[in-house]
Structure 1
């Protein structure tokens, strides 16, 4: 004859505090937001997943096209050709700008890096709900991986840019090495803004429909197709407006890259304290965007 021993269940009153009950039975909130240092540690632990995810997305981007990965270089080059015809030939913005084709192509490539990172970040959560709801991982991995994908895309474009520079007689210079810290700062800035937009896009998916208009306006005021310094030199624009245009983060990274790569683009065409601006924008967007995204970690994929 066997005897079953059991512990009588502890009575639970309807008035018991839920937090006290959770503490009593060792329960935790599913998907609870970790502390900021722990969140950084988790994100770093998944760095291989982030880079592999970015590479896979980049490889699959043109997998259905006959020309395949050729479009990674062809797309920005075609955009540059269109802008050259409209702004350089029809509107005459090339006048007064030496080495206009290298000037324009550099601006288009650097701007496309920022534009694509922000657009991809806007849909990072809302477009990956299946992944977000199925797996537990720091959600910041998604906008960061999309920014890495666009950085990989830019590296293909930069190889084409080198060929263009050489074809137009721009000599190889040690100043080209400045591209490495410039693109690093721009990547931090892009990833930060992508995280800000990812949180906003997760709550309001309609933002993704508005962003192309915002980015197009931003492009036109960032000196992608025209020289801010040359065009505004004799204008009657208020001084504060000129400072705002020159300090615009997209213009800062574009001008710094032109300064590093093109001999005829001199230091006098750069805004004052340009490196301080580049570092400041990267820290403001990178750190601020990361914290802003982390604060809503528990809400992603719910609802």
Structure 2
């Protein structure tokens, strides 16, 4: 495993290239280009605002619901795009992998890092909404880098797992569409927490995405300390599972090549 990690570090130039090419390919053929990274979360907010406020007549249980909505959607977008892209990462570069000996774990890692830059543009949108609503971050903003780091490690772990499994179970890509949809509606992204009956509260209490999304709102909107215990558990489990997966990659590189 040490030699595998050393090889990954030696190939950091490849990781840089994959991230850079992924950023360029994101909106290569679109007219607005990188402006979509700002426009996409704004359009998402408009769609769900129309659905929840105008159609369903909900959302009045939070005083700044559009701000509540944009924080949840931006955080969720990073999760969903990372899952979708990293799960297909190795398959996407199968032609290169079959010709050159490379650490396969680099590919899901690179796609997750690419979406980190996408998320950075989402933070700009959140900052605009905070300014519009006159909410200035206080000292609790110091927790923001920690939450971003924990979410990054969490998604790197998911990317490594899904990127590997998808090689052998190609139908997983279709299943993920429904799994991510379940997590979207089971997390307080478009609905305010505390509305679930007590017997279903575990959907939020033990849902890592719910903990992450709520932590962003705690820091940016409510100016309070996030759920540090929940975040610590997510980080610890993500690190452990990430190390296990890198070890698994190092021992099964030959199986990946055969499956491709």
Check conservation: 1:54, 1:146, Cα contact below 8 A. Answer: yes
Q: For 2:160 and 2:222, locate their aligned partners in 1 and report how far apart those are by CA, in whole Å.
A: 35
Spell out, residue by residue over 1:74-126, the C-alpha distance to the aligned partner (whole angstroms, 9 max, x if none): 12221222112112332344121132111111111111111111111111112
Q: For 2:103 and 2:129, locate their aligned partners in 1 and report how far apart those are by CA, in whole Å.
A: 40
Q: For 1:87 and 1:286, locate their aligned partners in 2 and report how far apart those are by CA, in whole Å.
A: 37
Spell out, residue by residue over 1:167-208, the C-alpha distance to the aligned partner (whole angstroms, 9 max, x if none): 111113232232111111111110111111111111122211
Q: For 1:73 and 1:194, locate their aligned partners in 2 and report how far apart those are by CA, in whole Å.
A: 24
Check conservation: 2:166, 2:172, Cα contact below 8 A. Answer: yes
Which of these residues, 76, 82, 105, is aligned with residue 140 of structure 1? 105
Check conservation: 2:153, 2:235, Cα contact below 8 A. Answer: no
Match of 2:220 in 1: 261
Check conservation: 1:143, 1:194, Cα contact below 8 A. Answer: yes
- TM-score, normalised to structure 2, is 0.91
Check conservation: 1:51, 1:148, Cα contact below 8 A. Answer: no
Instruction: Look up the SS of the partner of 1:126 in the other structure.
Output: helix
Check conservation: 1:170, 1:263, Cα contact below 8 A. Answer: no
- TM-score, normalised to structure 1, is 0.79
Which of these residues, 108, 111, 118, is aligned with residue 73 of structure 2? 108
Structure 2 residue 128 is matched with structure 1 residue 163? yes
Match of 2:46 in 1: 81
Match of 1:242 in 2: 201
Which is helix-richer, 1 or 2?
Answer: 2
Instruction: Could you tell me which runs of 5 or more consecutive residues in structure 2 were left unpaired when the two chains were aligned.
Output: none
Larger Rg: 1
Instruction: Could you tell me which runs of 5 or more consecutive residues in structure 1 were left unpaired when the two chains were aligned.
Output: 1-35
Match of 1:202 in 2: 167
> How many residue pairs align between the two structures?
259
Q: Return the offset for 1:57.
A: 1.0
